[in-house]
Amino acid sequence: MIQLAQPLSQLLKLWQQEGLLTPLDRHFALQMRSLHSDGDDLFTLICALLSRQLSQQHTCLPLTQIDSDNPLHEQHPQCQLELSPQALAEQLTQYQAVSPADGELNTPLILDGDRLYLQRYYQFETQVAERLTRLNQPLTVAAPDKVASILNILFAGQAEKPDWQKIATATAFSQKLAVITGGPGTGKTTTVTKLLLLLCLEQQLTIKLVAPTGKAAARLSESIKASKARLAQELASYGDELDLEQLKQVPEEAATLHRLLGVIPGSHRFRHHKDNPLRLDLLILDEASMVDLPMMHKLLEALPEHARLILLGDQDQLASVEAGAVLADICAGLKQTQAQNLDSQQASGWRMRYSQAKAALLSQLTNEDLGAYIDARPALGDSLAMLMHSHRFKGDAGIGQLAGAVNRRDLAGILSVWQRGYGELSWLEHQVTTQGNPGLTALMAQSVDKYRPYLNLVNHLANKEQAGELDEELAAEVDQQLDLDEMANQIIACFNDYRILCAMRAGEYGVEGINAAVTQALKDAHLIQPSSEFYAGRPIIIQSNDYNLGLFNGDIGVILPGHGPTRRLMAYFVQADGSLLKVLPARLPSHETCYAMTVHKSQGSEFQQVAFVLPPRPSVAQRQLLTKELVYTAITRAKGHFSCLGSQAVFEAACSQATLRASGLAQRLWPA
């Protein structure tokens, strides 16, 4: 059944040394071998492969994807399987540790068709699918004509036909689950704000807004506030027809998911769960693409049975850092092959699928003809709404064009966007020689220039600090005059104008190398004085959760002189509600400098200007991480300017590779 060049325990060690397995993968396999089999090599190998899948953020091991000639993808294969996937599946069910999906499920491993799961992940996946399917149900619309007339006012003067924002609002109003997806600037927040106003006009609901990170929650609050202000202006002339006072009732404060679920310090469990559900009628979750399968499971478990759920996000962005690609799986049923793609509005490769009843109701509410989108098997389609048209990247603006071409994996299109010479795009070419890399030197010069306004503000504040050290009374006076908090807010906002995003962590062109290089360049330009670990102006990113302090993985802060006569250095963070959190540097959980950060960590954030760094000569392992979702996410973090330090070959190779996460969720939600 299995051919090995050496005893398996030696091979496991070798594979770990070669980076083909993590230490955890090897230990898991050895543990399972000793607990659940009498040293069976096939079983042990399969356990190692399953654990490796989980380490690579897949939720299961599809047996059909195992390369029987070279299961570990080694350079010189040392292991061969002599079983077809079917025979392997049959063999697996012989082991006591494996049970079939329709069985008792009290074994550590579950085999569902050709997919092998850890029991826990099988349960996460099936329960998430079951709850989403249960949420996919229509709500009674008591007064459809009234709702239709309000929608007409909310979406008056829209040129787009059909008006997908209006349809999305009607979908979310009339369905217990709504998933509103779209790229940056397609109007997700605008749509949700109009929906919230419609709900406030029609019903009394307890509504909560959440996002996966503090940064994303803060941005959601800001966007909703801005959108409410725009809406108030747009609707000013409709005061007789709409009770505009209700706009004030539209909630705008967003919390993090952790905060909503109630963190219990020192525990992985949350205060809210199945037996202590959240107290709300409607939950709106933004940046849903960042939520992994286990977290989505926890959230759905804590959602009270009667509650409605709205997910917002961009299905084309990087999948979650941990296992699964939940939002992409939810949208999977709308993905079309070229031949099925009948209509230019959905030219992006997506097409809506409505039941007859839903299409009729949506047509009644929106006066849009949706007959072309009726599907005999709509599955989750009635709950989905996709916004395709970006209002941010107007006309032929470069960032939007580039993001679109990358998303379509259109290499000729990508090249032509770069060649058109848009002012908002710039390319820095790697020219690595023994003398150095002029491309990197140019990136450093650009970064000194872009971080200069931020550091000038910091130094302005630090100079006041010196005045404080000299004289306590004067310091107190300066405190009053200055409103330090306001200044800290300004400084953090200024820091967020520019960011370097790296494809990877390690190496000269990863976050570590680029941070060291920028620190040196800023020091040479006399903008910072990094004589000790903490210095005024050092930006930091938190790397673990500290529930007591209220700091979470990915939170970004800056080190600044604090209040009071001593003006000790403090780390300042803007929290989800916009308030400032100040922490003594010595108390910070693990953190690192963040002039540069990974693209993964940048999800949920936006910057006026982004510089993206690709490695000049990626290793085999690094190449696997370079995907079109990574490049798309990096580009769409930029609002005003995007530059890339790279080489054409690496950029194109990354854009040619799409992320594929093994999961059974899409099939459960969209049965064939």
189 is in an annotated binding site: yes
Longest dimension (CA), the chain: 83
Binders of ligand ATP in range 143-172 (CB under 6 A)? 158, 165
* Residue 558 beta carbon to ligand ATP: minimum distance, rounded to whole angstroms: 24
**Candidate ranges 26-34, 74-82, 186-194, 433-441; the one touching ligand ATP (CB under 6 A):** 186-194
Of the two residues 407 and 515, which places its CB atom closer to ligand ATP in the complex? Answer: 407
Binding mask 361-390 for ligand ATP (x = CB under 6 A): ------------------------------
Which strands, in side-by-side order, build the sheet including 177-182?
Answer: 254-256, 207-211, 282-285, 308-313, 177-182, 384-387
Contact between 615 and 503 (Cβ < 8 Å): yes
Q: Which lies closer to ligand ATP via its Cβ, residue 110 or residue 365?
A: 365
Whole-angstrom distance, CA of residue 164 vs CA of residue 672: 27
Q: 671: annotated binding-site residue?
A: no
Dihedral sign (CA 317, 320, 325, 326)? negative
223 near ligand ATP, judged by CB under 6 A: yes
The span from the CA of 307 to the CA of 598, in Å, is 36
Site for ligand ATP in 227-246 (CB under 6 A): 227, 230
Residue 658 Cβ vs ligand ATP, minimum distance, rounded to whole Å:
21
* Residue 212: CB minimum distance to ligand ATP, A: 14
Nearest alpha-carbon partner for 510 in 624, 594, 406 = 594
CA distances from 596 to 214, 444, 500, 601 (A): 19, 11, 4, 10
- CA torsion sign for 96, 97, 103, 104 is positive
Cβ distance 315 to 180 under 8 Å? no
Which residue from 364, 319, 373 is spatially nearest to 345, judged by alpha carbons?
Answer: 373
Contacting range for ligand ATP; rule: CB under 6 A; set: 7-15, 180-188, 395-403, 568-576:
180-188
Cis ω before 162 (30° cut-off from 0): yes
User: Residue from 53, 99, 181, 186 that binds ligand ATP (CB under 6 A)?
Assistant: 186
Residue 187 annotated in ligand binding = yes
Whether residue 664 is annotated as binding a ligand: the answer is no
Output the smallest distance, CB 636 to ligand ATP, in A: 8
Would you state the structure tokens that stand for residue 277, as one six-digit string? 């559900």
One of 190, 598, 622, 633 touching ligand ATP (CB under 6 A): 190
Q: Tell the smallest beta-carbon distance from residue 189 to ligand ATP (Å).
A: 3
Q: Which of 187, 294, 404, 646 binds ligand ATP (CB under 6 A)?
A: 187
Q: What are phi and psi of 267, to 5 degrees?
A: -130, 155
- Contacts of residue 396, defined as CB under 8 A and 6 or more positions apart, other chains included, come to none
Does 183 appear as a known binding residue? yes
Q: Minimum distance between the CB of residue 4 and ligand ATP, rounded to whole angstroms?
A: 51
Residue 172 CB partners (closer than 8 Å, separation 6+) = 178, 180, 192, 195, 310, 385
Assess 324 for contact with ligand ATP (CB under 6 A). no
Long-range contacts of 529-533 (CB under 8 A, 24+ apart): 533/585
C-alpha 14/C-alpha 27 separation (Å) is 13
Closest separation in Å from C-beta 6 to ligand ATP: 52
371 is in an annotated binding site: no
Distances (CA, A) of 155 to 203, 291, 523, 651: 20, 31, 52, 40
- For ligand ATP, the closer of residues 115 and 166 by Cβ is 166
The distance of closest approach from Cβ of residue 303 to ligand ATP in the complex, given in angstroms and rounded to an integer, is 23
Selected from 185, 381, 404, 510, the binder of ligand ATP by CB under 6 A is: 185
What are the tokens at 326?
A: 């939940």
Q: In terms of CB distance, is 186 or 647 closer to ligand ATP?
A: 186
Q: Does residue 392 belong to the site contacting ligand ATP (CB under 6 A)?
A: yes
CA-closest candidate to residue 184, choices 420, 404, 498: 404
CB of 307 to ligand ATP, least distance (A): 23
Nearest CB to ligand ATP, comparing residues 585 and 640: 640
Stretch binding ligand ATP (CB under 6 A), from 72-80, 181-189, 581-589, 657-665: 181-189
Find out whether 188 is annotated in a ligand binding site. yes
Q: Select the residue interacting with ligand ATP from 391, 420, 460, 617 (CB under 6 A).
A: 391
Which of 575, 634, 610, 644 is CA-nearest to residue 497?
610
Choice between 225 and 623, CB closer to ligand ATP? 225
CB of residue 196 vs ligand ATP: minimum separation in angstroms?
A: 12
Size of the site for ligand ATP (CB under 6 A): 15
Q: Is 188 in the site for ligand ATP (CB under 6 A)?
A: yes
Q: Which residues are annotated as a binding site for ATP?
A: 182-189
Binding site for ligand ATP (CB under 6 A): 158, 165, 182, 184-190, 223, 227, 230, 391-392
Q: Which residues are annotated as a binding site?
A: 182-189
